[in-house]
């Protein structure tokens, strides 16, 4: 572990990662190749006790770089992992990078410039680049993000979807003021929950013009597991802040409608006939999400009965 060279950086790159051996090297290369001066940046990794060589891959790249870094470890969930970054960051801003992401060289600098120019913004997301040719499940999943990135609104403060953590930049003072992430969450959606509280506390949410690439799930089984996990987190968020998630919008019928709505934009951008499977793709994801939501509800009910 490298000694931290400064008590204050402009940016902390927060990497919460687990079992990402195949993509971690590419992710680290893109972080270390940023054109932000390295003395203004630290890398804070929270490693979730991976069962593969993720940790070794990441530390190899960090040890060969002059950038300041720290590696922490946890096994209590994504909410806890992200909160460890919030508590330990020396940067004015945190840029979240997942193990399957690739950033263009200017990404971090541009995200920081946006925040410096917009002091009213607490969280600013980025946009997704097109990423096709990795199988039907991955291509259809990426199309949704691609369409939203091209046709979505710059403001997420009122009616837009709440920004996720992938590629987002957080103003550290704003996030610490609301207590950071909820460490009790089971599943994903920790980003939805904290974005909702950030907006409720008076900060603006935004989407910048900067784009990054994320490797989406390549198989239907991995996509199923991902959305079951999202559903478990959605259950937690729904019961904590019912206004943060519309349960009915996450049902299979609503998913079918969403897929139909996305079809024209997806075909306009890609000219791929596979886009017409988007309604069925959405139904598949919504079934998985609902399954995860209901499983979490049953588990929570059983736990309450025992107590």
Closest CA to 181 of 248, 84, 276, 247: 84
Task: Provide the 10 A C-beta neighbour count for residue 25.
Answer: 17
Task: Please list the pLDDT of the chain residue by residue as tens digits (307 residues).
Answer: 444 444 579 999 999 998 888 889 999 999 999 999 989 999 999 998 888 899 999 999 999 999 999 999 988 888 999 999 999 999 999 999 998 899 999 999 999 999 999 999 999 999 888 777 778 888 888 887 778 777 765 544 433 468 889 999 999 999 999 999 998 876 678 899 999 999 999 999 999 999 998 876 678 998 899 899 889 888 888 888 888 788 888 899 999 999 999 899 889 988 889 999 999 999 999 999 999 999 988 877 555 545 5
Residue 91 and residue 159: Cα distance in Å, rounded?
30
The domain over range 9-216 is classified in CATH as 3.40.640.10: no
User: CA-CA distance, 154 to 207, in Å (whole number)?
Assistant: 5
Model pLDDT, residue 155: 45
Residue in 154, 111, 108, 150 with CA at minimum distance from that of residue 130: 150
Of 266, 286, 142, 163, which Cα lies nearest the Cα of 216? Answer: 142
Q: Which residues contact 305 (CB under 8 A, 6 or more apart)?
A: none
- For residue 30, what pLDDT is reported? 96
| Residue extents of the structural domains in the chain | 9-216
Task: Give SS3 for 113.
Answer: helix
Q: Do β-strands 169-171 and 121-128 pair in parallel, antiparallel, or remain unpaired?
A: antiparallel
Residue 263: the pLDDT is: 92
């Amino acid at each position: 572990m490298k000694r931290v060279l400064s008590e204050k950086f402009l940016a902390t790159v927060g990497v919460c990662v687990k079992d990402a051996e195949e993509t971690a090297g590419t992710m680290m290369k893109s972080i270390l190749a940023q054109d932000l001066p390295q003395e203004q940046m630290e890398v804070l990794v929270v490693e979730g006790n991976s069962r593969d060589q993720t940790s070794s891959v990441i530390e190899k790249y960090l040890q060969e770089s002059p950038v300041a870094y720290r590696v922490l470890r946890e096994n209590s969930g994504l909410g806890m992992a992200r909160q460890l970054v919030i508590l330990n960051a020396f940067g004015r801003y945190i840029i979240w990078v997942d193990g399957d992401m690739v950033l263009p060289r200017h990404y971090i600098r541009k995200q920081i410039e946006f925040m410096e120019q917009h002091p009213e913004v607490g969280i600013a997301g980025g946009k997704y680049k097109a990423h096709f040719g990795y199988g039907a499940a991955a291509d259809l999943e990426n199309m949704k993000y691609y369409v939203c990135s091209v046709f979505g609104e710059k403001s997420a403060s009122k009616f837009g979807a709440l920004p996720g953590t992938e590629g987002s930049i957080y103003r550290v003072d704003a996030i610490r003021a609301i207590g950071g992430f909820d460490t009790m969450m089971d599943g994903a959606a920790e980003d939805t929950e904290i974005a909702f509280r950030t907006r409720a506390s008076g900060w603006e949410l935004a989407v910048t013009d900067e784009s990054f690439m994320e490797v989406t799930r390549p198989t239907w089984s991995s996509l199923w597991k991902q959305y079951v996990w999202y559903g478990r987190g959605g259950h937690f968020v729904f019961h904590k802040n019912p206004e943060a998630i519309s349960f009915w919008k996450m049902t299979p019928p609503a998913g079918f409608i969403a897929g139909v709505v996305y079809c024209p934009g997806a075909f306009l951008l890609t000219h791929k006939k596979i886009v017409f499977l988007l309604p069925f793709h959405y139904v598949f994801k919504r079934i998985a999400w609902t399954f995860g939501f209901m499983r979490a509800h049953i588990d929570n009910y059983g736990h309450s009965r025992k107590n």
